[in-house]
Amino acid sequence: METIKNDLKPEYVFQEGAAEYLNTTCRKIALFRKHKLLKAGKLGKNYVYKLSWLDEFMEAWAGYDLSNESKIISAIAEREWRMKHGYCDNGTGAKKAWRDPGTDQHHSRGSAAKGA
């Protein structure tokens, strides 16, 4: 009897798989979930993450420093400020310049990360 190798990627992964997919730690995945940056489902006691949710997370938060909890909170505030003032394209492709509230400098939408 032949064994069939399953090369299909799973649609959902547990926290460890999400951490590996995003090349980060399980603790960071938990922080992203806690601050609602990353969607998650619940399966028993465990959280599960859809691969498309992980891709959306990477796209939405690219360029932000999410290295610790205080920087995550700052990134959320910065992103909310940009959205409130119309400086995020929200997927429309429109690129507007934005003024950094901390330094009062103009930046193009393409260089959204500070110091980029």
Sketch the domain layout of the chain as residue ranges. Answer: 9-62, 69-110
Q: pLDDT of 83-111, one tens digit each?
A: 898 876 544 444 455 455 555 555 554 44
Helix (H, G, I), strand (E, B) or coil at 25: coil
Does the reported pTM lie above 0.85?
Answer: no
3-state secondary structure 33-74: HHCCCCCCEEECCEEEEEHHHHHHHHHHHCCCCCCCHHHHHH
Q: pLDDT of 9-57, one tens digit each?
A: 689 999 999 999 999 999 999 999 999 999 999 999 999 999 999 999 9
Q: Indicate the CATH number of 9-62 among 1.10.10, 3.40.50, 1.10.3470, 3.90.120.
A: 1.10.10
